[in-house]
Amino acid sequence: MRLLSANPETRESPAIGQRAQPWLGTLVSIRVAAEPDLATRAMGAAFDEIGEIHRQMSFHDPASELSRLNTRAHREPQAVSARLRRVLSVSLALAHATGGSFDPTIGRRLVEQGRLPAPAGDASDPDARWHDVALERDGRVRFRRPLWLDLGGIAKGYAVDRAIACLRRQGVASAVVNAGGDLRSFGPPHVVWVRDPADPGRNLPLLEIGNAAVATSAGYFNDHPPHSAIVDPRTGAGLGDDCSVTVCARRAIWADGLTKAVLADPTGSVALLRRLGASAVLLDRNGGRRHLS
């Protein structure tokens, strides 16, 4: 028999702190296990980092770095921050690997559907695709045609990765960061729930993670009917109206981007999932469940 008080984990487990702030068009919540002063400092630093990413990558804010690209990069190459360059580089790698079922030039379709405001200046070329975005050797970004980048399908994942790195550096014992469904954690295993596609007001215990990232995409909360919440960049067609896809990967930026690729082409995504050490589950409205990789 073991006495509870004799368990060092119980006796020494630090306090839990949690906070949430609105960023990147969603609620970002952070939970850490740390002494109160450290928890406050660490969560403050993590939210500062997320706020910085929001300011750099906002499509809505005409003063963001992303908006500067969207209005000027087809005229002359633009210098960008290391953060934006990293997100663009992962976006283009995913676009290449998925044959464009993930494509950061999706801004044009979302503007057409009235879901994003049209940026100032030249309109996006309707034929522009991800391969019209060039990352120059000198670090600058150039568009081969006028186009509108939107990083809404991947920036939240990146922000979660950066926040987790920040919390680790600060020395908290364990943490979970969740930005509107893109989640990453380190520390002891915990259950991650996903919404039931048949009834998004309910949650299902889907997996247990320790050090890993999970992202779920689905169409059930749609602010813009009759358009779908998620759009296939190749065709403009709606995706995920009656199912959800959850991807588990080492990094949240991969998990976030991969959910869209899996929704667009589940079978075709298996090789890429395997290459990145990721796995995915599709849930449908009838309780069906399909594992990929």
* Residue ranges binding other proteins (CB under 8 A): 18-23, 25-27, 29-31, 40, 44, 168, 176, 178, 180-183, 186, 189-196, 199-212, 214-221, 223, 229, 244, 246, 248-250, 277, 279, 281, 283, 287, 289, 291
Closest distance between other proteins and the C-beta of residue 159, in Å?
14
Taking alpha carbons only, the member of 78, 63, 71, 148 closest to residue 109 is: 148
Q: What is the DSSP string of 69-81?
A: HHHHTTTS-EE--
Taking alpha carbons only, the member of 246, 247, 230, 257 closest to residue 284 is: 246
Task: Give the residue with the Cβ less far from other proteins, 1 or 76.
Answer: 1
Q: Are 183 and 213 in contact (CB under 8 A)?
A: yes
Alpha-carbon gap, residue 28 to 54, rounded angstroms:
11
- Exposed/middle/buried for 55, CB within 10 Å: 0-12, 13-18, 19+? middle
Closest distance between other proteins and the C-beta of residue 206, in Å?
6
Task: Give the residue with the Cβ less far from other proteins, 89 or 211.
Answer: 211
Task: Give the residue with the Cβ less far from other proteins, 7 or 89.
Answer: 7
Task: Give the residue with the Cβ less far from other proteins, 29 or 81.
Answer: 29
CA neighbours closer than 13 Å in the CB half-sphere of residue 95: 24
Closest distance between other proteins and the C-beta of residue 105, in Å?
23
Q: Are 176 and 265 in contact (CB under 8 A)?
A: no
Compute the Cα dihedral for 38, 40, 41, 43 and give only its sign. positive
Closest distance between other proteins and the C-beta of residue 199, in Å?
7
Task: Give the residue with the Cβ less far from other proteins, 69 or 218.
Answer: 218
Closest distance between other proteins and the C-beta of residue 226, in Å?
17
Question: And the tokens for 226?
Answer: 């009759």
Task: Give the residue with the Cβ less far from other proteins, 56 or 246.
Answer: 246
| DSSP helix/strand/coil, 278 | coil
Closest distance between other proteins and the C-beta of residue 223, in Å?
6
